[in-house]
Amino acid sequence: MAIAAVLIAYLVGSVSFAVVVSRTLGLADPRTFGSHNPGATNVLRGGNKMAAVLTVLGDGGKGWLAVFLTQKYFAGIAQPEYAMSAAALAVVLGHMYPLYHRFRGGKGVATALGVLLALNTLLAAAVAAIWIAVALVFRISALAALTAAFLAPLLCYAFYGLHPYTAAVGAIAVLLIWRHKANIRNLIAGTERRSTPKPREPQR
């Protein structure tokens, strides 16, 4: 039964909403421009804010849905927290390496946040607050994602201690950081793109 939960979670995660939304709205495939990453940030670079919002909602929603379905329909198995943790990891892997899109997926930030929302609302809120704070200060999406990914397992440990959720969140964090390896190189080199342009200094 737990294997079925993991398989379903992976298949749910394999739906790339960046690609689906872009196709539905007649926009360019996000894998063909910008960072070539099928995620909300790259969709936003295409100039359509609504498409980016729908991508975030879709990718986050599938992360939440996979864990919720596991909790709802597999709660009767022994130690359901293990099944939920495995499903959490599987849905993020599905997003990163989607079966339906030739295994060319996104970096998993929105999907991971959806997973956290299903596991613990307060934990998700804390991680989201970290992402927002860093994004507002530095205006660099990748830096915000990396900071949130680094701190998420520590926060999960603060909530649960040594627990399957903590292990799953830790594994997801490692995957997120790995998927951002090109961004890390750019950050070190000072060439990482800002999410929004720097405000112009007022003319005197």
Mean pLDDT on 59-76: 91
Mind listing the pLDDT tens digit for each residue in 11-63?
A: 999 999 999 999 999 999 999 998 899 999 899 988 899 999 999 999 999 99
The domain spans of the chain are 2-189
Among the listed residues 124, 140, 152, the one whose alpha carbon sits nearest the alpha carbon of residue 180:
140
Q: How confident is the model at residue 73 (pLDDT cuts 50, 70, 90)?
A: confident
Q: How confident is the model at residue 196 (pLDDT cuts 50, 70, 90)?
A: low
Single pTM value for the model: 0.92
The pLDDT of residue 195: 67
Among the listed residues 23, 67, 65, 64, the one whose alpha carbon sits nearest the alpha carbon of residue 46:
23
Given a contact cutoff of 8 angstroms between Cβ atoms, the answer to whether 57 and 15 are in contact is: no
The pLDDT of residue 78: 62
Among the listed residues 113, 117, 82, 133, the one whose alpha carbon sits nearest the alpha carbon of residue 176:
113
